[in-house]
Amino acid sequence: MRATPATDEGATANPSRRTFLKAGAAIGGGLLLEVSLPLRAFGVAEAAPAVLNAYVRIATDGTVTIVSKNPEIGQGIKTMLPMLVAEELDVEWASVRTEQALSDPAIYGRQFAGGSRATPLHWEPLRRVGAAARQMLIAAAAADWGVAPAECDTLPGVVRHAGSGRSAPYGSLAARAAALPAPDPASVPLKDPARFRIIGVSQPGVDSPLVVTGQPLFGIDVELPGMLHAVFVKCPVFGGRVRRANLEVVRAQPGVTHAFVVEGGEAFDGLASGVAIVARSHWAARKARLRLDVDWDEGAAAAQSSEGFAREAARLARRAPAIVIARDGDVESALSGAKRVVEAAYSYPFIAHATLEPQNCTARVEGARAEIWAPTQNPDSGRKIVARTLGLAEADIKIHMMRCGGGFGRRLMNDYMVEACWIARVAGAPVKLVWEREDDLRHDFYRPAGYHFFRAGLSDAGRLVAFRDHFVSFGADGKFASSAALSATEFPARFVPNLELGASLLPLGVPTGPLRAPGSNALAFAFQSFLDELAHAAGHDPVAFRLALLGPSRVYAGTQTPAGSTPDFDSGRMAAVLTEVAARAGYGRRTLPPRSGLGVAFYFSHLGYFAEVVEVAVGPTGEVRVAKVWVVGDVGSQIINPSGAENQVQGAVIDGLSAALGQTITLERGRVRESNFHDYPLLRIDRAPPVDVHFLRTDHPPTGLGEPALPPVVPALCNAIFAATGRRVRRLPVDPAELAAGA
């Protein structure tokens, strides 16, 4: 991809060309609607596209360019966000071209991809952007015709005055509209959803033709004149530092221009200690790396291991939890009086994001300025790290948000960005840094491992009367590591009269972080699997047991936690998706072959209510084949792009199955044992099941879809394995040897 000034058009116009009006509705830090002065005032030909606001440009031929403000990581945001604008602008989708914005918080507010927040944050504000631009076009036409704007309306791409029969295409009005004051977005009327023509209609991804034909689009594709290539070698033990390296030998290798030690700091998401090798090609840098010999100071983390964590967790489980997370009623008395007490220990490993495009960044640092091309989910966080590390002003750092070849939370961290900038400054030339796959797996911000020690009591009628979890996780000084926490509202909290949730923490020298549906992707496995275990112990159907737990439709208010507030929970919405998915899958009504079974689970995360049923067949050697997955979700009143929504749900299901059926990050002597896809496998296409997706439309604001469909599939899978074999999966990933016939 050749970087050119054209990438800045519209989205990065000189600030002297604009004034700003703050919108009434906020997007992150607040939506800034641009009001542009006439282009002719700056010597721009009238034929150039007219800039109506920071998101919309209209050419004289009627072509509409809509800027997508957030990073595209494969979640379809570059298609979905412009659809919101286009709907209210009232144009034909075929006339729309989309463009990726630069990272510019002054114009766009917060620009990030994470937390399934794009839909709830932008559903109304971006529609108002389109509606405001439409009002400006109407005002321009009304002024030309000498009529009141209220007498005019629009057809797709056309303003008309029904009284006189006059009409004008947007392209002929755009330049004059751009000279008008922008209306207050909060005051513009929005369409009745019954009149939507774009929202709710499946649209293919705007970049899909480029992706499937292998066109340069991703961060790894960037090419700049005079660009050098870099690799950055870090200690295999997290937090280790360079003592000595054979730099002279490396510098003597063909094509190498620089080889130097980077001292780095302590923060995992900043600049680490390591050795940078810069060459005229990536291949030359990679070959030179093979000659590198480093003596590392491995540090304290070299004493840590997955095996050691498991032993220590078992020891801590015999003590009282160090942290009380939630406590209702009297669990000890309820357990003493229970008809049956069930105990089980569940655990799950560290896992990696394993983005298909490894971490990379291209950077040019000249004097006090830096320009960056990065596949990042959180560009402004990267800007801050680069500014702090290199001593630059944030305003002097320009970031091009390249399409990400997968994110899943990994690219919320910008360690690769600050590494590229540091190396580029030392090299005195533009530098593209590309991590090897081994770097990517062994220097991730991992989904934390966890250990749950459950104890629950059932009444004579099989009702859950007591529930206790001693959660052994990671952290220090009473604070959980990133994505390693347990909420006080974790189900069945608030639905059991006697409940205790507590935690003990293990110190950790390994970086952790959010991975698709952070926390929830692991907690759902443990809690929903144990609830299934309780249903069977009670002699109840697993669906009926869950519905009884949910009880009558009620809304439980969220709570405030040190990590922020938790959302309200509507038990009626969850019961509805559970009932519907059971019906669609024929749960309890189908006869399956031997060693086949159906499993069910539900989960609430990222404002989405999802229930799922998995059908499995377990072979005689324990090999698990997933035959089909049924998914029912409630994410509110509107699905913006149905094909994109289905893709997100199916992708979440495949991600969850992939992790559960074979993925683990194993720590030995502070280093990761796994290195590539041969020992950290992704689910292959011949093992991917059909996924039936259905949405319930409810009278609630639309919410996001990137994450909430993932958590239920893992326990539904494990519960299906139990239905097929009678053997409980209490430890991930699934081990076929434990499921073999006769094992």
CA distance linking residue 646 with residue 150, whole number of Å: 40
For the whole model, what pTM was predicted? 0.93
2 closest CA partner among 278, 206, 227, 284:
227
Q: Is the pLDDT of residue 705 over 70?
A: yes
5-203 and 307-350+446-738, same CATH topology: yes
- Where are the domains positioned within the chain? 5-203, 219-299+359-434, 307-350+446-738
pLDDT, position 459: 98
pLDDT, position 39: 28
pLDDT, position 268: 85
pLDDT, position 417: 98
Q: Is the pLDDT of residue 18 over 80?
A: no
Non-local (6+) Cβ contacts of 668 within 8 A are: 305, 306, 307
pLDDT digits (tens, 9 = 90+) for 393-422: 999 999 999 999 999 999 999 999 999 999
φ/ψ region of 379 (left if φ > 0, alpha if ψ in -120 to 50, else beta) reads alpha
pLDDT, position 2: 43
Mean pLDDT of the chain: 93
pLDDT digits (tens, 9 = 90+) for 111-135: 999 999 999 999 999 999 999 999 9
Q: How many CB atoms lie within 10 A of CB 266?
A: 9
DSSP count for the chain of H helices, then E strands: 18, 35
Quick one: tokens of 188? 């513009």
Quick one: tokens of 603? 């989960």
Mean pLDDT of 340-366: 98
Q: How confident is the model at residue 562 (pLDDT cuts 50, 70, 90)?
A: low
Q: How confident is the model at residue 269 (pLDDT cuts 50, 70, 90)?
A: confident
CA distance linking residue 5 with residue 614, whole number of Å: 50
pLDDT digits (tens, 9 = 90+) for 636-680: 999 999 999 999 999 999 999 999 999 999 999 999 999 999 999
What DSSP string describes 232-284? Answer: EEE-SSTT-EEEEE-HHHHHTSTTEEEEEEE---S-TTSPPPEEEEEESSHHH
3-state helix, strand, coil in the chain (%, to 5): 30, 25, 40
pLDDT, position 620: 97
Non-local (6+) Cβ contacts of 34 within 8 A are: 18, 20, 51, 53, 54, 107, 182
Amino acid occupying residue 229: H
Higher pLDDT, 86 or 49: 86
379-390 and 415-427 are packed helices; what angle lies between their axes, rounded to 10 degrees? 40
The length of the chain in residues reads 743
Q: Which helix (H) or strand (E) holds 85?
A: helix 77-89
Q: Is the pLDDT of residue 4 over 70?
A: no
pLDDT, position 47: 54
What DSSP string describes 505-552? Answer: EE---S-B---SSTTHHHHHHHHHHHHHHHHHHHT--HHHHHHHHH-S
Q: Is the pLDDT of residue 613 over 60?
A: yes
Mean pLDDT of 617-635: 98
Beta strands in 283-440 (DSSP E): 294-297, 323-328, 340-348, 360-366, 369-374, 397-401, 431-434
Quick one: tokens of 139? 């005002």
What DSSP string describes 443-469? Answer: S--BBPPEEEEEEEEE-TTS-EEEEEE
Q: How confident is the model at residue 560 (pLDDT cuts 50, 70, 90)?
A: confident
- Name 324's bridge partners: 502
Q: Is the pLDDT of residue 8 over 50?
A: no
Q: How confident is the model at residue 27 (pLDDT cuts 50, 70, 90)?
A: very low
CATH number of 219-299+359-434: 3.30.365.10
The fold for domain 5-203 equals: Aldehyde Oxidoreductase; domain 4 (3.30.365)
CA distance linking residue 701 with residue 636, whole number of Å: 5
pLDDT digits (tens, 9 = 90+) for 711-735: 999 999 999 999 999 999 999 999 9
Per DSSP bridges, beta strands 555-556 and 498-506 are unpaired
Q: Which helix (H) or strand (E) holds 389?
A: helix 379-390
pLDDT digits (tens, 9 = 90+) for 33-67: 343 323 232 233 335 788 888 999 999 999 999 99
Task: Report the sign of the C-alpha dihedral through residues 175, 176, 180, 182, in that order.
Answer: negative
φ/ψ region of 506 (left if φ > 0, alpha if ψ in -120 to 50, else beta) reads beta
Cβ–Cβ < 8 Å for 18, 34: yes
Rg, Å, the chain Cα set: 28
- 307-350+446-738 carries CATH number 1.20.840.10: no
